[in-house]
Structure 1
């Protein structure tokens, strides 16, 4: 049956017209690519969503070639073929057709000084031997600490709940983002490393773990991000040349010292069981926990609370009821079984991942001449060209999701709703498939939703209701601040 369906799909695809990819990235300035790239960069950071909408309208296509930041003079100016629909997007997950080597951010890669001189796993293609070893080690770290995650999430959540309540009592409002960063830092280090970052010791991070982490992340992401400064300052300071590692070396050294001192058992395991060189293991561990996990949760958790806090009150009432009934059925404890039984909680998490994925862009380089299919055409791609996906736009594909621009809490509930999980590509792969050492899907593809669901369960055990204000956008789509406007304790 499935083979017949695939055969029909192939026949239909062959009837689509074969076209060249529209756009060359230099429409406005003729043959001078550098000026065109700079103009596109300025427009992109000025109004990101309008940037994509205008080009989609201009080319009449969800597949087109365009300049992506960063761009000259300090960066290359090679246009990227961008995909804005869920039909074409999965080509980025096909390791037989695209190479993932050094294309995390398209044409740009930070200095290896940020990573102790090694290429982290995220910059490796699955065909590289180091990728298999390192990713196997990372997946093992997540699974081997399975019994710690729920209690550590509960402990760290309780700590930031107290801070929020104190701020609400004092000011009538409380900002979400910074405390979510502290939560992520505490959960990750206590669970994986087995060390509280603030515990006294020669390499303690004190209460500055999130600051050190963000100081290291900032220069890596600055050329492709906006922090809300006036463009006259942001363009020359952040988007024109890479920021040197030396500017943050003292902060990064604090993080390195912490892991060198307190993660010795993990580094021993990487050496002895996975044959990973110690410096390689050290900096991949830092990258995984700080760049991938901390950075992603810092963006996603405030967004999750923001979506639910601005939803209809009935959504929060339903979540409260579901969480407390599930926990009661497990004897009053949050257990793995209780979390997995919370269908609406899971749906809310995946709907938030769909609406605002923490990693908005993915890239790959064509390994051979390719044909990419959208809904209305096929497009020729040459070997070596970089292909990218704009996930915040693609994940609102009306061909897959009804009312795609609206947050619908129950979207992924029920039999039909569960089928739609396949199309939530936040983890650089299909939403109902699993990470492995042989693909580029996020090693925490299963863990991030579970952590977020457990966090929400703790939240709605403690609070009967809450509201948040409209988010304050200070830069591009990832630079958003959320605040509580009410917080009602149970």
Structure 2
């Protein structure tokens, strides 16, 4: 009797979720796709619907859409009060919902389901994720030195380009930095080293070529409208077109990653084929994909933030290296760089490299937003747009502007949990029991290390206004002001 009364009380005050998928779902999904990519653009697509429904929760179609894909009806959550339900695996399932109800062919992954598509309730998830987490930790002492080495190679390239051309593209070298650091740290081999299966300097291209068709239905390449719709938004791109690139990566990892594959088999009971393709996925999708997308806009935000911030960062970095690192860049020194950490998390808040999260309701749920309570039925797909949620004005002051010191101090540190970029709160730890990205701590750590290396070499730097083509942000340096006594 008491339980029934509680259920009745719970139902009171529930609001109907606004929005829908159109009177003809097939056509409405196409119309919404065109709004998303062309007529409105991604940001305005969400803003216009929040204004229309006067709500941060509503039903709508998300890309991809027919004829080559199923419709993607989703309950979207665009505020920070409702968003965390997407991380609660006791209430939602995360099986095969990385991209809502669209999933690339398993041929892209050697025929296996990578960890990112597994729910924590599946046995393989715990074994694979334990392996990846330990792989990151076991190599903890290598991350900083490898980043320093990669930066020492990249910086002179930028300086020479700037001297010759008056500008230097950030993206090419940051892609090579990410590739070199990851492979040299995890596999202990330079991807460019001579050998039968050497990647030479093509590692970043191979990773990007493999990633592109997996994500193309939900992304824009900046092609002419009609061409883009026909080529990448209407039908899935077959694995055949990138198989040659993936096979090169596969052969490299299989040849030079034997020690890591042995560890996966012996210690974690993983099949060698399963281990190989999960290592490749983690390195190429989770880690390289995140770093490659994030490094250029991060540098762009910092480059445009002004001399005062640069002076403060240079002083903080060099002081921490002098005192904590005894003249060397170390993890302990990085931990003392509070402003630097704040800058990286502010960049993650402004531009999370993984913009969407999805899940399926395991049961009927009550979801709370800032302005109401709503019922979601079992089996419905829930989605969240992180760049909208992390600009929630009820959580973040002046949310649309880059504030470098936002996360400094006790009150600032409390806000870190709201930077929900990696499939979990910004201050949470990844584990086998949740779906937080295994690289959720690695990406900000390596980003902090990259910026620290830059301020050990440069007093300041400036960038031109970024160019945006589709989902690709390209950044160019306009100046690099070398320190009188650079430490890198």
**RMSD over aligned Cα, in angstroms?**
1.3
Task: Establish whether residue 483 from structure 1 lines up as the match of residue 483 from structure 2.
Answer: no
Task: Establish whether residue 230 from structure 1 lines up as the match of residue 258 from structure 2.
Answer: no
Residue 44 of structure 1: aligned partner = 36
Residue 420 of structure 1: aligned partner = 415
Task: Establish whether residue 33 from structure 1 lines up as the match of residue 25 from structure 2.
Answer: yes
Deviation at 1:78, TM superposition (A): 3.4
Residue 24 of structure 1: aligned partner = 20
Report if the CA contact (8 A) 1:16-1:377 is conserved.
no
Task: Establish whether residue 448 from structure 1 lines up as the match of residue 443 from structure 2.
Answer: yes
Residue 158 of structure 2: aligned partner = 164
Runs of 4+ in structure 1 deviating by more than 6 angstroms, as ranges, are: 13-16
Deviation at 1:15, TM superposition (A): 10
SS at match of 1:239: coil
> TM-score normalized by structure 2?
0.95
In the TM superposition, 1:388-403 aligns within 5 A as 388-403=383-398
Residue 378 of structure 1: aligned partner = 373
Report if the CA contact (8 A) 2:290-2:443 is conserved.
no
SS at match of 2:461: strand
CA distance in 2, matches of 1:326, 1:123: 40
Residue 91 of structure 1: aligned partner = 85
SS at match of 1:106: coil
Report if the CA contact (8 A) 2:72-2:100 is conserved.
no
SS at match of 1:389: strand
Residue 459 of structure 1: aligned partner = 454
Deviation at 1:16, TM superposition (A): 8.1
Residue 7 of structure 1: aligned partner = none
SS at match of 1:365: strand
> TM-score normalized by structure 1?
0.95
Deviation at 1:444, TM superposition (A): 1.8
CA distance in 2, matches of 1:110, 1:78: 14
Report if the CA contact (8 A) 1:193-1:263 is conserved.
yes
Deviation at 1:447, TM superposition (A): 1.8
Residue 263 of structure 1: aligned partner = 257
Q: Gaps spanning 5+ residues in structure 1: where?
A: 1-9
Report if the CA contact (8 A) 1:100-1:123 is conserved.
yes
Residue 63 of structure 2: aligned partner = 69
CA distance in 2, matches of 1:301, 1:16: 47
Q: 1:118 aligns with which of 97, 108, 112?
A: 112
CA distance in 1, matches of 2:37, 2:72: 18
Deviation at 1:48, TM superposition (A): 0.7
CA distance in 1, matches of 2:337, 2:187: 29
Residue 427 of structure 2: aligned partner = 432
SS at match of 1:248: helix
Deviation at 1:17, TM superposition (A): 3.0
Deviation at 1:312, TM superposition (A): 2.3
In the TM superposition, 1:260-299 aligns within 5 A as 260-299=254-293
Residue 134 of structure 1: aligned partner = 128
SS at match of 1:205: coil
In the TM superposition, 1:161-200 aligns within 5 A as 161-200=155-194
